Chains A and B, each alone.
Chain A
Amino acid sequence: MLDFLYSTGWGAFALMLFFHIPFLIVFPYIVYRKCYVNTGPSNTDPRKLSRLEALWLIIAVGLFIAANVYSINYLPMVKTSATEASGAVIQDVDVTARSWSYEISNRQFEVGKPVRFSVKSVDTMHGFTVYHPNGKILFNMMLIPGLEKASSLVYTFTEPGKYKVRCLEYCGIAHHAMQDELTVVKSGS
């Protein structure tokens, strides 16, 4: 469940709906009622309203905190340092982006072996986004030229296949053609 929410685009969509749906029920309901059903003022006890106010704030803030706290283990920085701490061998890959291609020091990886992608751009802003063969985004990086530290994270592929790379920062008239491909093979093969 958490995997779905925090590591897929549709998970983000679901998270958004989780907040949208109650709002889209309550707000129009109250507006409709006060427009057409019972337009007069309601003599709700003011004390009740301020209690409701406090309750609403607590619920909203509570949900906001929960949505973020549950995401902590999925943070790329957290996952990266966890992999580093585990003592696993990390394969280093350097990527240089320029309009409109990538120079990638290694395009073939093994399932289960962590890879550190360090990506730089040498001309204008570019992106480095890796897609799973099923079309979903695995991760996304933005590259600002001149930034001293390369954009970087550690990722461990779990399935063999062809992984598409796309640039997701608009970089000029051939931006849509800026792509590449990585190959992931079964371990030991």
Chain B
Amino acid sequence: MLAATIRRTPFLGRMFDVDESTGLSDINTWPAMMIMTSFVWLIVAILLGVLMPVIQLAELDTNLFYSAITLHGAALAFPFLFQFMMGISLHRSGGCMGKSASGPLTTLIYICMNGGAVLLTLAVIGGLKITYTVMYPLPLVGAQMGQWSMGMVVLGFTGIALVLTSMIFLYPIQILRMSFFGKQREDLLLSARTLNDPGMLGMVMSVMILLVTGTPLMIVAGAVLLGLYGLVPLEAITWATEPVVFQYVFYIFAHNLMEAMAIMVISAVYATLPLYLADGTRKLYSNKLANLALWILLVTSVTSFFHHFYTTNPGLPSALAYHGNFMSWATGVGAALSLFTILATIWKHGIKPEPGLMAILAGFVLYIMDGVNAMVAGNIVVSYQVHGTLWVGGHAMMVLIAMCLMWMGVLYHHYPVITGKKLDTNLGNRFVKYYFIGAFGLTYSFAAGGAMGMPRRFADWSAGPDSWMMVGIAILIFGIFLTVGFVTYMQNFLKSRAI
């Protein structure tokens, strides 16, 4: 039935029509459904992305800008990229562990993610303009000031809570269930992997991070939500409604969410790269080094979130600021090890330049570039210069764009198994080219804006020197390249032919 729903979906259905002849429906259909739905969010949100510089250049309504940024950020981070990643990861886990990726839990993951995102979207359309980081207590203060209604706050928070439930509890539990419990089904086992394998280790690590760092946020957000519903008196939950409490639990999660997504994608890269080696060895340069890189990323990322608070000093005690500075750069050591492992693997065995692998490697280049950008901003002194500017807005966006390209490469690899169709090499190469040019340009445009002191989430670029608007034009141009990259990727799916 689900496969039929996909088939009947206009436009996107043709791209993700599942091959039911292989008996792999249990690991293909739900992942295809998630990936297809994530593309709906992508299409809407990327248009909003392009709209933002247009609003600024044409000096349109500032309210429109703040609505656009809220939806753009929220839709791309959660129902697009996270859902896209969940789809691919569920398929990968299923095929590597020989477990079904469907069932009630998966259905619930899907409903919470998309239902929640729809509610949040409605709230934004209804006037709630809080950006994807919520900026708590802004939702409440804004309602008190009449910027939007309390009803929209309740609606928006309900949506956010559903999305978070999907990401923090349901999806991690599903991955853990598939990794550790249940009987293996031979018929679903595509390429067996154990947890010693870097390609699988990262998957489990990342869901543990989501569970552990997300639970405090769920507790606080849950309490706030009960207060908003009027189920508990607000005086009873002052411990949760404190802005400082909310900000800290929020960033403990939000920072680690990004790290978890990075660990998961690097792990997928470790799994995919060996399949494209020229000499057919199918081995990384060193599994030990690859695993070590993942462990370093895991350990250092957990407490580097303090870098979000440097500029509140002495509100953030200096010692914790130094700790955050150290951990932020130590994350770079993990990245340096990944870099070495990947280059040494390529050097030792040679590679086949196929579009899927090229997308992964291009995405990895963007990821390292963005990592440097983030690390530099993770220095306390630099943070006092660039915090709150486009530099950090650019980092938030580019880390997602980089991971997205790696996932797109990984999907390129799994696509034939899911749909039984083959992709075109020329279109594949063209997509990587446009996407990379766009993303590369956006990285430097946002960083340059930050270097010029251009604020992020700021609806009036014309208030600054002319150079701010030049940055805006650059964002528009490179944004169009990136969009063409996405369009080409989808065009390839549309034109794919049965094997």
Residues of A bordering B, CB below 8 Å: 6-13, 15-16, 19-20, 23-24, 26-28, 30-31, 34-36, 38-42, 44, 49, 52-53, 56-57, 60-61, 64, 67-68, 71, 74-77, 99, 123-125, 127, 129, 131, 135-137, 139-153, 166, 168-173, 175-177
Interchain pairs with CB closer than 8 A, number: 245
| B19 at the binding interface (Cβ < 8 Å) | no
Residues of chain A contacted by B340 (CB below 8 angstroms): 53, 56-57
Using Cβ atoms and an 8 Å threshold, which residues of chain B touch A153? 313
Give min CB distance, A77 to chain B, whole Å: 5
Q: When A137-B389, A144-B247, A170-B131 are in contact, do A16 and B313 touch as well, CB less than 8 Å?
A: no
What separation, in Å, do the CA atoms of A144 and B464 have in the docked complex?
Answer: 26
Q: Of A34, A141, A175, A177, which one neighbours B311 at CB under 8 angstroms? A: A141
| Chain A hits for B376, CB < 8 A | 12, 15-16, 19, 67
Q: Which residue of B is nearest A127, CB measured?
A: B388
Interface range on chain B (Cβ under 8 Å from partner): 35 or more
B220 CB to nearest chain A CB (Å): 14
Kindly state whether residue B26 has any CB partner on chain A within 8 Å: no
Q: A7-B385, A139-B384, A149-B314 are in contact. Are A60 and B336 (CB under 8 A)?
A: yes
In contact, A145 and B137 (Cβ under 8 angstroms): yes
CA distance A31 to B359 in the complex (A): 12
Is B377 a contact partner of A12 (Cβ separation < 8 A)?
Answer: yes
List the B side residues contacting A26 at CB < 8 Å: 343
Bound-complex Cα distance A131 to B452 (A): 10
Contact of A166 with B455 in the complex, beta carbons under 8 Å: yes
Given contacts A9-B450, A140-B387, A173-B147, contact A152 B314 (CB under 8 A): yes
**In the assembled complex, B151 has its CB within 8 A of some CB on chain A:** no
- Is A64's CB under 8 angstroms from B135's CB? no
Q: Within 8 Å of chain A (Cβ to Cβ): is B278?
A: yes
* A12 with B391, Cβ < 8 A, contacts A23-B369, A38-B350, A176-B458 known: yes
Point out the residues of chain A lying under 8 angstroms from B361, CB to CB. 31
Given contacts A135-B464, A170-B135, contact A146 B242 (CB under 8 A): yes
Q: Which of B310-350 contact A (CB under 8 A)?
A: 311-315, 318, 321, 325-326, 329, 332-333, 336-337, 339-340, 343-344, 346-350
Task: Indicate which residue in A40, A49, A172 contacts B279 across the interface (CB closer than 8 Å).
Answer: A40
User: How far, in Å, is A31 (CB) from chain B's closest CB?
Assistant: 6
